[in-house]
Structure 1
């Protein structure tokens, strides 16, 4: 089995894993926000959590996406501190393209989403 065959894109009814992506274009910048659990919060405990989110941008006409951000979440309830799996980044480009976000749940694996930018 290939790793790409393990990436999921459809969510469960009771909890969310697929990253939601918001993109704003202005003055040659792409303002990107990726969040897991926007509508229904994902658990964030030592036993069950989103460990990381990676964000990629594939410019129009290019063959491969470029990794523009990699974010790890380390606080899952230690000392009553919880990391919310939400990231923001800004990319300088005049090109359109596609933004991808990949997230990893320590129990349910890899999850992907993409939007046109």
Structure 2
């Protein structure tokens, strides 16, 4: 089995593991927000958490995506205080393309989403 065959996707409004993407273009910048659990909150506890989120941009006409952000959540909190798996990145580009986010849940594996930018 190939690793790519293990990546899951779904409608983020019904599945809490899918990274939700918000993209805004302004003044030569692409502002990207990726969050796991926007509509249905993901339990980010020590036992069940999002370990990382990676963000990619594939410019129109390009063969491969470019990694533009890699975020590890090595601390999740304790007692009643837990972090939320959300990241933001800005990239300089005038190009259109597609934004991808890949996230990893320590229990439920790899999840991805993409949007046109």
- Distance across 2 between alignment mates of 1:3 and 1:69: 20
Tell me: CA distance 1:20–1:12, structure 2 relative to 1, closer, same or farther (3 Å): closer
Q: Secondary structure at the match of 1:54?
A: strand
* Cα-to-partner distance string for 1:23-56 (whole Å, 9 max, x where unaligned): 0001111000000000110011111000000000
In the superposition, the TM-score normalised over structure 2's length comes to 0.93
Please state which structure has a larger fraction of its residues in strand.
2
RMSD, aligned α-carbons? 1.7
Q: Which residue does 1:21 correspond to in 2?
A: 21
Runs of 4 or more, structure 1, over 4 Å off, are 11-15
Tell me: CA distance 1:11–1:49, structure 2 relative to 1, closer, same or farther (3 Å): farther
Q: Which residue does 2:110 correspond to in 1?
A: 110
- Distance across 2 between alignment mates of 1:12 and 1:58: 21
Structure 2: give runs of 5+ residues left out of the alignment: none
**Count of paired positions:** 117
